[in-house]
Chain A
């Protein structure tokens, strides 16, 4: 009895490794850009799959890469469906403006289905060592988290947000599996509240700016009108440098908050994911992310967008370098007993987390 127990407590750290190269990805990216533009977007699904395969295929764990097997045709069908739906929506609200509410309700009701289906698509097409990931069809759970909890936003004056984020992460992790082995999530809501409190209370100015700027921006846009001349007092013109400085300042504060939350929540989530007694270790740092985002933005702007591939590769390399798998079994046993399943969820779930936080 003692011996296997001891073997189990021996943890081996397996780092994630990203091998993509900016010059190589540049070729893929620029060809994608051209083909998307000249096909009026029809090439988008192929571009998406090639890009994803490049990033998955260059992410290695214990010398095995991930793979994405999504079919561009399936993605294209999804796009076309979305376009058709949007056209119907657009035509309908123009003819019957009140139908907006019906569409809104319809969309809300479809949300759980959309979320679950897209998670299944993503998971099912993410492969590691020729074994697919999976996602459970938990529509009820999705309805609770994407319809039920958001309804509490108003009554709780938004205080539910960290809890909501926590439940979303838990939903994504708990329903995911690698092969037949499920992932499980052990974090509690407490730390989510802590990080949100820090990010919103300490840089209080940030909140004011974050609220004031979009509001002001909205106000300028609503007053979207064509004035006869661009004058200093003209609220629709570039009311010059002051506006630009405010925008720049609030962007920096926003970026700081974004980096902090992104790093903390990412680490929190990863460090609480378990699969078959194996755990992850994520050690992203807010200041690193802040610097990466800031310098990437500058370089992209100064290069008129041509350095986008470099920026994306750089970010992927950093993120992979801070993530590792803490494998409980020794390496041989791990390979043989389908323990290797552990990590792939990372890439995929991570991407969704990124979108969540960005929104």
Chain B
């Protein structure tokens, strides 16, 4: 016989009685106190799954419940009743070795999900979504450029058209949504180019002026087309939101201050996603240039010139940066020249 000290609540009032809960070998269960003697059959009784060291509960068919605090014989009594699979989970939760194993496994799985799972899923989903969806976003983004950062281009119209025709000719065949190329004079930005949603590409006047050869600009343009072609903006949005959601779910409750703690890891992961997209676009541009027998040195050269212009930007640590280190990008670009022209894609 197993005898456990328990609190009994009859389920009709919140009254609490101290009782003794007795399990007989015959399969009979007794609730006993000075003024109480109730009998039940073991088959009619259920227990709630164990969680940590919260009190065990035995539930009876008449709606009453007995609560038992930690007790040497408690486990033996619980073993008489049907087990929830959650009790296996409970066993793992309480073994140091198991926890260490789970911890290592969780880190590996989480790393795999963030490094491979989410990017692959986002890629698949993004390519399934037609690019037309980005139309409004693209319009808005261009408006923001025009309102806050840029003025109309000061390049001669002829020069703009000549470049646009060259770019479009080379890169805009067979597209659902035609590429749009815009030149802008953006004092605050300096030499740079941007791919906005829906295939809008903005190139600053300073960028055009910095180039010593039109093939350099073609390379930059191809890099931006790489973002469009790879659906990087949609993928970025998908990846960022799923990652943020996942990390918030794992670290705390959405909406409370503890989600602040999820902010930094999220930023780090998002910066990494961004760097991966840049590398992908650089590869796209390099492959494009190689197919036209244009040396990737052109792209590497202008990249180098750009980085020399803003030496002050070197203070951002690599892991926080949205772009890979310029030296690494240049080395990678140059390495494409040694490849066979059709050898990679």
Chain A interface (Cβ < 8 Å from any Cβ of B): 20-21, 24-28, 30-31, 33-38, 44, 46, 50, 53-54, 57-58, 64-65, 67, 94, 97, 128-131, 178-179, 219, 222-238, 240-241, 251, 255, 258-259, 262, 293, 296-297, 300-301, 304-306, 308, 311-312, 315, 335-341, 354-355, 358-359
Contact = CB atoms under 8 A, between A and B. Distances in A.
Contacts of A234: 189-190, 192
A231 B141 CA distance: 19
B102 A31 contact: yes
Given A36-B249, A312-B252, A228 B192 contact: yes
Contact of A225 (B136, B196, B320): B196
Interface string B131-147: 00100110011001100
Given A65-B54, A129-B9, 13 more contacts: A30-B102, A54-B54, A94-B129, A128-B14, A129-B14, A130-B10, A226-B277, A227-B193, A234-B190, A296-B261, A311-B261, A336-B13, A354-B255
Interface stretch (B155-163, B220-228, B286-294): B220-228
A33 B52 contact: no
Contact of B224 (A226, A337, A358): A226
A341 B14 contact: yes
A262 B148 CA distance: 37
B192 A226 contact: no
A142 B256 CA distance: 23
Contacts of A131: 9, 11, 13-14
A230 to B, nearest CB: 4
A28 B87 CA distance: 12
Interface centre among B145, B149, B258, B307 (most CB of A within 10 A): B258
13 contacts: A50-B89, A178-B14, A219-B148, A223-B144, A224-B237, A226-B232, A228-B192, A229-B306, A236-B194, A296-B258, A305-B262, A340-B14, A355-B253
Contacts of A355: 253, 255-256
Contact of B15 (A20, A236, A336): A336
Contact of A240 (B247, B256, B258, B315): B315
Contact of A297 (B102, B192, B227, B258): B258
B283 interface: no
Interface of B: 7, 9-11, 13-16, 48-49, 51-55, 57, 63-65, 67, 86, 89, 92-94, 99, 102-103, 105-106, 109-110, 113, 129-130, 133, 136-137, 140-141, 144-145, 148-149, 188-197, 202, 207, 220, 223-224, 227, 232-233, 236-237, 247, 249-262, 264-265, 271, 277-278, 281, 303, 306-307, 309-310, 312-313, 315-316, 320-323, 326
Contacts of A53: 48, 51, 54
Given A232-B313, A233-B188, A130 B14 contact: yes
A33 B250 CA distance: 7
A359 B53 CA distance: 33
A224 B141 contact: yes
A228 B109 CA distance: 33
B251 A27 contact: no
A233 B189 contact: yes
Given A224-B236, A297-B260, A336-B15, A305 B189 contact: no
Contacts of B49: 50
Taking each of A28, A225, A238, which has the highest tally of chain B beta carbons within 10 Å of its own beta carbon? A225
Nearest to B311: A232
B278 A226 contact: yes
Given A33-B250, A226-B277, A231-B190, A335 B133 contact: no
A97 B254 CA distance: 28
A341 B136 CA distance: 55
Nearest to A94: B133
Contacts of B256: 354-355, 358
Counting from the closest, the 4 A-B pairs by CB-CB distance are A57-B54, A130-B9, A358-B255, A27-B93
Given A33-B110, A225-B233, A335 B54 contact: no
Contacts of A311: 252, 258, 261
B201 to A, nearest CB: 9
A30 B103 contact: yes
A27 B136 CA distance: 47
A258 B257 contact: yes
A122 to B, nearest CB: 14
A50 B54 CA distance: 11
A230 B220 CA distance: 14
B188 to A, nearest CB: 5
Given A226-B194, A232-B310, A293-B257, A340 B16 contact: yes
Given A130-B65, A354-B256, A335 B316 contact: no
Given A50-B86, A131-B14, A226 B9 contact: no
A54 B194 contact: no
Contacts of A223: 141, 144-145
Contacts of B326: 229
Nearest to B135: A97
B109 A37 contact: yes
Given A355-B255, A358-B256, A179 B310 contact: no
A329 B296 CA distance: 85
Nearest to A51: B51
